[in-house]
């Protein structure tokens, strides 16, 4: 072959390669699917460049073969071999073990910012030809082409993930708005009684719940609860509990009856797979009585006549057994003003860098130091204290606070 003929042939090959790159670029711009891009990639390598045998591995949570051709049935399935990860540049295969080295000549790694994205394994069908292998002649081009294809596929995956994440975010925002509707909008703030609540979900939505319901001018029922687990599943169960709770109050104000029915609902909905801790109470500011049942919840702290009391009487956590045994109801009569802090375990489970938690004694100290504050200001101070206490650590769970202050006893 003359120098002129050789030059013409080389130019034809260069034109062919350039045309193929333009086709791939156009396909990407036209948003070809992953399978369409791989079909085009295969057609270019097999039919235009004469690469007889190929396997393409790509990483998607694990290494997978996303394209193969020229492989006999005896070599299926094609398994990724960890020795490939040691290869950082184009080279001939020389594995000490494994099947890939028996079937392929060359490996082309594809990296992005030192991160391996793909590995191409090549070989020719006609190994008896005494000429330079097509696989070897076109190695840099194949690496470039593979890089373009793989990055395009990665971008498609990222785009899809972003779209899915946007959809999930939108759904979670909606769920968060719906959950906010479960909480009471107007809490009492009178001379006789002041109530404030604060909710800090660990995720967009959570499984903590509080409620404060006015029965008449002098009676109130309130609760605070915590579903085991976090996120949407916990929030769905809690919304069901809220609906049941409101429905029951239309028929009875008996705390034991309410607890028993709520327990049945938890068991029917979760089949003993989730549990709910609940503090349920009734306050009568005319008779000056506070009645409560604590179903396995963090003990609320009562500050009364300069002393602290933890409200522990009640029963086991809801959802454990169908029949709640020995439900203990306690009635407290008061003759002077008091404050009551109800909270969920996201507050006391918070850890600092010394692996210390916020203890009940710490909460009592904060209540005493801030006893002149309104419930709303106290809740804000308590959360700020908790944020400083945990340092750079995350809160481990949702946090709900319900603080009640009874001041005027001349109802």
> The domain containing residue 73 runs over which residues?
3-161
The overall average pLDDT reported for the chain is 83
pLDDT at 328 over 90: yes
What is the mean pLDDT of the segment spanning 224-250? 81
Tens of pLDDT, residue by residue over 272-313, are 678 889 999 999 999 999 999 999 999 999 999 999 999 999
* Final residue in a domain of this structure, among 161, 194, 228: 161
pLDDT at 235 over 80: no
Confidence label for 10 from pLDDT (cuts 50, 70 and 90):
low
Comparing 132-136, 168-172, 221-225, the range with the smallest average pLDDT is 132-136
Q: 298 or 122: which carries more pLDDT confidence? A: 298
Q: Mean pLDDT: which of 141-145, 243-247, 402-406 is highest? A: 402-406
Q: Quick one: 186 and 149 in the same domain?
A: no
> Are 95 and 154 spatial neighbours (Cβ–Cβ below 8 Å)?
no
The pLDDT value recorded for residue 171 is 55
The pLDDT value recorded for residue 193 is 92
The pLDDT value recorded for residue 161 is 66
Rounded CA separation 175/181 (Å): 10
Q: Quick one: 56 and 107 in the same domain?
A: yes
Predicted TM-score of the model (pTM)? 0.61
What is the mean pLDDT of the segment spanning 64-76? 79
Domain count, the chain: 2
Q: Quick one: 306 and 383 in the same domain?
A: yes
pLDDT at 195 over 80: yes
Which residue's structure tokens are 């409200």? 311
* Final residue in a domain of this structure, among 112, 129, 161: 161
The pLDDT value recorded for residue 51 is 84
The pLDDT value recorded for residue 380 is 94
Say what percent of the chain tops pLDDT 70: 83
Q: 11 or 108: which carries more pLDDT confidence? A: 108
Q: Quick one: 304 and 364 in the same domain?
A: yes
Q: 200 or 222: which carries more pLDDT confidence? A: 222
Residue 172 lies in a domain: no
Tens of pLDDT, residue by residue over 207-222, are 788 999 999 989 999 9
Q: Quick one: 154 and 231 in the same domain?
A: no
Residue 129 lies in a domain: yes
Residue 12 lies in a domain: yes
The pLDDT value recorded for residue 131 is 42
The pLDDT value recorded for residue 89 is 86
Q: Residue 294: which of 270, 318, 275 has the closest Cα?
A: 318
Q: How far is CA 109 from the centre of its chain?
A: 34
pLDDT at 203 over 80: no
Tens of pLDDT, residue by residue over 146-173, are 888 888 888 877 777 666 666 656 655 5
Exposure string over 66-95, b if 16+ CB within 10 A, otherwise e:
bbbebbeeebeebebbebbeebeebeebeb
Say what percent of the chain tops pLDDT 90: 31
Q: Which positions ≥6 away from 140 have C-beta within 8 Å? A: 90
Q: Quick one: 115 and 239 in the same domain?
A: no
Rounded CA separation 242/373 (Å): 30
Q: 178 or 146: which carries more pLDDT confidence? A: 146
């Amino acid at each position: 072959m003359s120098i002129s003929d050789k030059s013409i042939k080389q130019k034809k090959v260069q034109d062919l390669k350039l045309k193929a790159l333009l086709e791939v670029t156009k396909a990407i711009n036209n948003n070809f699917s992953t399978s369409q891009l791989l079909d085009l990639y295969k057609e270019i390598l097999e039919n235009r460049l004469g690469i007889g045998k190929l396997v393409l591995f790509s990483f998607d949570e694990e290494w997978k073969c996303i394209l193969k051709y020229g492989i006999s049935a005896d070599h299926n399935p094609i398994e990724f071999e960890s020795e490939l990860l040691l290869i950082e540049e184009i080279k001939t295969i020389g594995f000490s073990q494994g099947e890939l080295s028996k079937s392929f000549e060359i490996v082309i790694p594809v990296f992005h910012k030192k991160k391996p994205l793909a590995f191409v394994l090549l070989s020719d069908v006609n190994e008896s030809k005494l000429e330079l292998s097509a696989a070897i002649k076109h190695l840099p081009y194949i690496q470039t082409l593979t890089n373009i294809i793989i990055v395009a596929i990665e971008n498609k995956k990222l785009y899809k993930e972003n779209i899915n994440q946007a959809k999930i975010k939108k759904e979670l925002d909606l769920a968060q708005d719906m959950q906010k509707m479960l909480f009471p909008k107007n809490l009492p703030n009178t001379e006789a009684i002041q109530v404030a609540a604060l909710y800090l979900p660990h995720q967009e939505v959570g499984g903590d719940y509080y409620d404060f319901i006015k029965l008449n001018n002098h009676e109130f029922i309130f609760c605070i609860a915590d579903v085991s687990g976090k996120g949407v599943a916990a929030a769905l169960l809690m919304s069901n509990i809220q609906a049941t709770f409101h429905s029951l109050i239309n028929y009875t104000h008996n705390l034991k009856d309410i607890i028993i029915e709520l327990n049945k609902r938890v068991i029917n909905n979760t089949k003993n797979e989730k549990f709910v801790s609940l503090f349920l109470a009734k306050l009568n500011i005319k008779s000056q009585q506070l009645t409560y049942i604590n179903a396995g919840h963090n003990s609320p702290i009562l500050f009364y006549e300069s002393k602290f009391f933890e409200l522990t009487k009640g029963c086991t956590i809801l959802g454990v057994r169908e029949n709640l045994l020995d439900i203990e109801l306690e009635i407290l009569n008061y003759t002077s003003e008091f404050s009551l802090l109800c909270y969920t375990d996201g507050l006391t489970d918070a850890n600092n860098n010394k692996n210390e938690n916020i203890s009940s004694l710490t909460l009592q100290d904060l209540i005493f130091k801030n006893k002149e504050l309104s419930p709303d200001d106290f809740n804000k101070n308590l959360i700020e204290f908790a944020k400083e206490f945990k340092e750079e650590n995350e809160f481990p769970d949702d946090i709900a606070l319900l603080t009640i202050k009874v001041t005027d006893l001349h109802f």
